[in-house]
Amino acid sequence: MNKKNNILVLPGDGIGPEVCDEAIKVLKHLNYIYKLDIVIEESAVGGSAYEEFGNPLPEDTLKAAKEADAILLGAVGGPQWDDIDYELRPERALLGLRAELDLFANLRPAILSKYLSDSSSLKPEKVQDLNLLIVRELTGGIYFGEPRGRSKSGDSAFNTMIYSKNEIERIGRIAFEAAQKRNKNICSVDKANVLEVSVLWREVISELSEEYPDVELSHMLVDNAAMQLVRDPKQFDVIVTGNLFGDILSDIAAMLTGSIGMLPSASLNSDNKGMYEPVHGSAPDITGKELANPIAAILSVAMMLKYSFNMNEACSAIEKSIQEVLSEGYRTYDLEGSKENKLSTSEMGNKIIEKIK
Ligand code: NAD
């Protein structure tokens, strides 16, 4: 018997369930056309899980997440949970899942369809057809380094930026392998002119590159990388960097595309098990109004097919269909476009399915 591909969907809060519904529809359609042997289950997470079970990450959800081959998460959070105990807040579920599943590699593509180049804050010619991928280390570096804290007097505070060779190597591998599936170009970003940890980072990534002769490696200091992202973002294919630098650079890259409803992300562990989620949050201001753009969630499914299941044909089918829908002028309400071509959340999902071949 063929091994089934088990996908756990965690819709979460706000527009999370709305965009996940569309992503599941697309996934089921692809499952039918391409015979992907996909089995889909659903569990509670975030604020809605807190309401039902008193815990944003219930035991059963965590167990199901550990058993699944890949996870699709909608979004968590909302103003109604802003004042509850920190440990019980919806966002804790995300941190819990990342830590329990050891999801150390965060992949954030910044893709701008040529049909949407007017939405960027940069001139259209600078960003048209932009397609770069930021690979950020997610479970180490200065955000987790010890010692950390305040001095006894309270007059100073400190954090530790620390990476081991092993941590750098494993994020490097994910980045090199991703580059092999793209334009075979990596830029490793650090601050090696000032930080010892960056000198080690550069050494390990350079050594690793010998195992990937088909991928071209360059190094860039983070201050220059921030500048280059705004000056000429299309020079990049894959950027690999640590937790702190990646946090900042991935938000710069996201803004280049101008539309948060279009951006997917993946967090992977060393077995290529991944949690895939749109970059946006639960958008309480538009929840329940059929105004949410489901494309970020649908592109998260495309990433899942590519990175967790190596189903490249099915992944391209989604990407192509989205381009076709956009080229015909169809838009959700967050995207500029003519009134008569505006689609609701579910209409956009249906249109994308209609074009999948
Ligand atoms: P947000 O991303 O939810 O919304 C920011 C703005 O973008 C809003 O105006 C919203 O309407 C719009 N928007 C977001 N996604 C959209 C989509 N798919 N289509 C159309 N418009 C969209 O960020 P926020 O308002 O700062 O946060 C709201 C809640 O979401 C908070 O509780 C926050 O903690 C949570 N949050 C969760 C995640 C996550 O689950 N990964 C990420 C960010 C924020």
Tell me the pLDDT tens digit for each residue of 311-330.
Answer: 999 999 999 999 999 999 99
Q: Which two tokens stand for residue 343?
A: 């689609």
The residues annotated as belonging to the active site are: 143, 191, 223, 247, 251
Dihedral sign computed on CA atoms, order 99, 104, 110, 113: negative
Q: Which residues line ligand 1 (CB under 6 A)?
A: 15, 19, 75-78, 91, 94, 260-261, 277, 280-286, 292-293, 296, 334
- Do domains 1-104+269-357 and 107-263 share one topology? The answer is yes
Atom of ligand 1 nearest to the CA of 12: 40
| Interval between CA 105 and ligand 1 midpoint (Å) | 22
CATH code for the part of the protein at 107-263: 3.40.718.10
Determine how β-strand 185-190 pairs with β-strand 216-221. parallel
What pLDDT is stored for residue 338 in this prediction?
A: 84
Determine how β-strand 274-278 pairs with β-strand 157-158. unpaired
Atom of ligand 1 nearest to the CA of 77: 32
CATH architecture, domain 1-104+269-357: 3-Layer(aba) Sandwich (3.40)
Give this prediction's pTM: 0.90
Tell me the pLDDT tens digit for each residue of 223-278.
Answer: 999 999 999 999 999 999 999 999 999 989 988 887 789 999 999 998 889 999 99
What pLDDT is stored for residue 1 in this prediction?
A: 47
- Per-10-residue mean pLDDT, the chain, length 357: 85 98 98 95 98 97 97 97 93 92 95 86 89 95 94 96 98 95 96 98 98 98 97 97 95 85 93 93 97 97 94 95 95 88 97 95
Domain ranges across the chain: 1-104+269-357, 107-263
What pLDDT is stored for residue 2 in this prediction?
A: 57
Assess contact for 15 and 287: CB atoms under 8 A. yes
Atom of ligand 1 nearest to the CA of 286: 11
